Structure 1
Amino acid sequence: MGRSGTLVENLSGEATYRSFRPAALPPSPPLQMGDEMATLLVSASRALQRLDDLSQYVPNTDLFISMYVRKEALLSSQIEGTQCTLEDVLDPEADTSADADVSDVINYVKATRFALTRLQEIPLCGRLLKEVHEVLMGGVRGQEKNPGEFRRSQNWIGPGGGSLRDARYIPPNVEDMHEAIANLERFMNEPCELDPLVCAALAHYQFETIHPFLDGNGCVGRLLILLYLIECGLIGEPTIYISYFLKKNQVEYYDRMMEVRRSGNYEQWVRFFLEAVRVAALDASQSIERLSNLHEHNEALLPASRRAKDNLRTLFSYIEQHPIFTIKGAARALGLSYNGAATLTKKLEELGIIEETTNASRNRVFAYTDYLEILKEGTAPLTGGEAKAR
């Protein structure tokens, strides 16, 4: 067997194909850290620690977490070919949208929230991943792909409409898949001499190599990174959107994992992953600082009030959680009359905090534009050429 695994022959005759049986983690011979990897590890760890520190001292931590979860959901889904924008996901009608791409992202948000709650009850294991997969795939395009169940047939990665003969990569057969998942569970839950960030890199690679579901493996695998970082105590909340870097370097992302399978060179993959963590953590930290500064600047614009309940500030808090909103939706959520919410909305518009994005007399839509501009950096859908590179 090679360092990362071996090819296994399946079936016979013209139907013969070779699937990949991954070696158990950690790698053997052991990882060679080297100066470059050690430097990257220190830089990534420091960036992640700074992000975690920042996230604990910002006003309204829950607000930032909510927005970051949505951003990661969108970016991760875009890697899989989803063609929607942050505005689509934040649309007031998004939860009832018939758009399949929007539904995919919303399901990812639901799956993330479910996973974070479930992780407090059970360890990071196959059972948890299957439950997360069920939430992720429920009611969307992959519903016929056995949500919440490991596959019972062979899958492969290749061009759309192709067959096993056209595959770029064939994951382990069903028997080998179950053994590999059991090995991955042990690796994620037993003590390891490697740094947790390195273990996160290896765990993500291994999950993607096993490809245990008929669909949704990419999104579950990237969510696994976040869960592992939280489980190991490297971050306290889901404040990093790792898919930010992976989307920007999508071809290299897939190529580097394929290189591990081809040559057993885990080191080049780990270095790439550590750089992904470093860049994503730095970007998230900058976003937190910019969003915090914007919050303070606009809050200072609000007129002082001696009332125990300041409805204008209540609406301001609401739009930070719903940066695209309607008067009707805000009134319903805040327990205000329509006219009352309309008056407050007009005041925020006059202060230059929000702007109307429609030219309608009814069902007007407003946006907290400056807030959106910070959040949506890096979230433009992939172009046709980029999407085909998958």
Structure 2
Amino acid sequence: MKNRAGEFKTNLTGELQYKSYFPRPLPPVPSLELDEETIKMLVNANRSIGILEGYSRQIPNIELFVSMYVRKEALLSSQIEGTQATLDDILDPNIEENTNQNVSDVINYIKASQFAMARLNDLPICNRLIKETHQILMQNVRGSEKNPGEFRNSQNWIGPAGSTLKDARYIPPNVEDMTIAMSDLEKFINEEDDLEPLIKAGLIHYQFETVHPFLDGNGRIGRLLIALYLIDKQIMSHETLYISYFLKRNRIEYYDRLTEVRAKGNYEQWIKFFLQAAYESAKDAIETMEKLIKLHEKNHGIIKGKGKSAKTVIKVFDYLERSPIIDIKKTSQELNLSFNAVSNAVNKLIELGILKQTENVRRSRVFAYEEYLGILRKDT
């Protein structure tokens, strides 16, 4: 009985011989068997995403939530790849001066995500869009020497640092097979079929990670593809569903389940895991949104009660929801207000218990919207 997911192929001869994996095109043949448990999981995941979608249509400043959420996702997705950075690093008002390799990785992910979403207006999800997004992800960061924006033209492998083809944990398709597999995947993504979008998104992610078409950045692009596909299929209107935290938390199981598909053709167990990830991630996003809405209403109410002086304070407060760590000089430039006006508003916000001066000695005059940050920092 042939494995319906693919097979290992022998490359080269003698001492140099190794086996790479060649995945079969999607959808699986024979087709997926969804048992009762899977169908229930699918219904739950779709329902949670529906609730999340309803919420995101109600929030007046949804773009704001999305931009914060994209930053958080960029951070988590980059942390899976070993990037050492915190949310506070990413939100530093003086990020240009204080940037480092780790922060640049995350900033590039944010740019790549924004680029890909905008590019969907002109292109379907195709290899060209994937390559263009990869180019932005890898610009001037670690791995930028590894052909940004181009599929690889050499063999790659996955394993612990310092591993070789001999002791790799997994060897993706050789270059020729990779080219075929990416062409097949592009067709599958754009094919009209009766697969549920969430299930199809799970299959696309699995296949992309299995093909590993780039020399670096595959994990981040593969996770970004999930949100891209669901937005393209109008399951979501904004990037509010991200599964990186779930994958980070269950990293070993994640890799084991991908391996199980490659080894035994068992897509069904992977789909269950993926649906659980979608369900928990949607629930998590709903909770975060609820908390941020409550916090906004509470503090908006406190400021509004302060009468005439409230106008500038509200301007600065609105800015805080975009940039929860601020310094006075940059904020006054951004808002086109005088230094003194912003300084007075900041003092007022400190007095009201909304802003706190940060403890960081290096950045003595930096202020943080701590309650807001506390909600976003969860899990990072």
Q: What TM bracket, shorter-length normalisation?
A: over 0.9
Partner secondary structure for residue 310 of structure 1: helix
User: Residues 68 and 240 of structure 1 are in contact (CA less than 8 Å); yes or no, is this contact kept in structure 2?
Assistant: no
Match of 1:297 in 2: 298
Are 1:210 and 2:214 counterparts?
A: no
User: Residues 312 and 341 of structure 2 are in contact (CA less than 8 Å); yes or no, is this contact kept in structure 1?
Assistant: no
User: Residues 71 and 241 of structure 1 are in contact (CA less than 8 Å); yes or no, is this contact kept in structure 2?
Assistant: no
User: Residues 52 and 286 of structure 2 are in contact (CA less than 8 Å); yes or no, is this contact kept in structure 1?
Assistant: yes
Match of 1:94 in 2: 95
Cα displacement (A) at 1:241: 2.2
Are 1:228 and 2:229 counterparts?
A: yes
Give the Cα–Cα distance (whole angstroms) in 2 for the partners of residues 97 and 39 of structure 1.
48
Cα displacement (A) at 1:55: 0.7
Q: How does 1:1-390 map to 2 (within 5 A)?
A: 1-304=2-305, 310-358=311-359, 363-379=364-380
User: Residues 95 and 103 of structure 1 are in contact (CA less than 8 Å); yes or no, is this contact kept in structure 2?
Assistant: no
User: Residues 19 and 172 of structure 1 are in contact (CA less than 8 Å); yes or no, is this contact kept in structure 2?
Assistant: yes
TM-score (norm. length: structure 1): 0.95
Give the Cα–Cα distance (whole angstroms) in 1 for the partners of residues 200 and 242 of structure 2.
18
Cα displacement (A) at 1:2: 1.6
Report the AA paired with residue 55 of structure 2: L
Give the Cα–Cα distance (whole angstroms) in 2 for the partners of residues 372 and 309 of structure 1.
23
Give the Cα–Cα distance (whole angstroms) in 2 for the partners of residues 320 and 147 of structure 1.
34
Give the Cα–Cα distance (whole angstroms) in 2 for the partners of residues 359 and 152 of structure 1.
46
- Provide Cα deviations, 1:249-291, integer angstroms capped at 9, x if missing partner: 1111111011100110000000000000000000000100110
In structure 2, the gaps of 5 or more residues are none
Report the AA paired with residue 167 of structure 2: D
Cα displacement (A) at 1:193: 1.6
Cα displacement (A) at 1:244: 1.6
Partner secondary structure for residue 58 of structure 2: coil
In structure 1, the gaps of 5 or more residues are 380-390
Cα displacement (A) at 1:376: 1.1
Report the AA paired with residue 14 of structure 1: E
User: Residues 357 and 365 of structure 1 are in contact (CA less than 8 Å); yes or no, is this contact kept in structure 2?
Assistant: yes
User: Residues 9 and 19 of structure 1 are in contact (CA less than 8 Å); yes or no, is this contact kept in structure 2?
Assistant: yes
Give the Cα–Cα distance (whole angstroms) in 2 for the partners of residues 308 and 360 of structure 1.
31
Give the Cα–Cα distance (whole angstroms) in 2 for the partners of residues 361 and 109 of structure 1.
26
Partner secondary structure for residue 372 of structure 2: helix
- Provide Cα deviations, 1:349-382, integer angstroms capped at 9, x if missing partner: 1001110013769851111000011111111xxx
User: Residues 358 and 366 of structure 1 are in contact (CA less than 8 Å); yes or no, is this contact kept in structure 2?
Assistant: no
User: Residues 245 and 276 of structure 1 are in contact (CA less than 8 Å); yes or no, is this contact kept in structure 2?
Assistant: yes
Describe the shift of the 1:99–1:29 C-alpha distance in structure 2 as closer, same or farther (beyond 3 A).
Answer: same
Partner secondary structure for residue 20 of structure 1: strand
Structure 1 residue runs of 4+, over 3 Å off?
Answer: 95-98, 303-309, 358-363
Alignment: residue pair count:
379
- Provide Cα deviations, 1:90-148, integer angstroms capped at 9, x if missing partner: 11122443421111001000000000000111000110000000000001011101100
CA-atom RMSD, angstroms?
1.6
- Taking only the aligned residue pairs, the percentage that are identical comes to 54
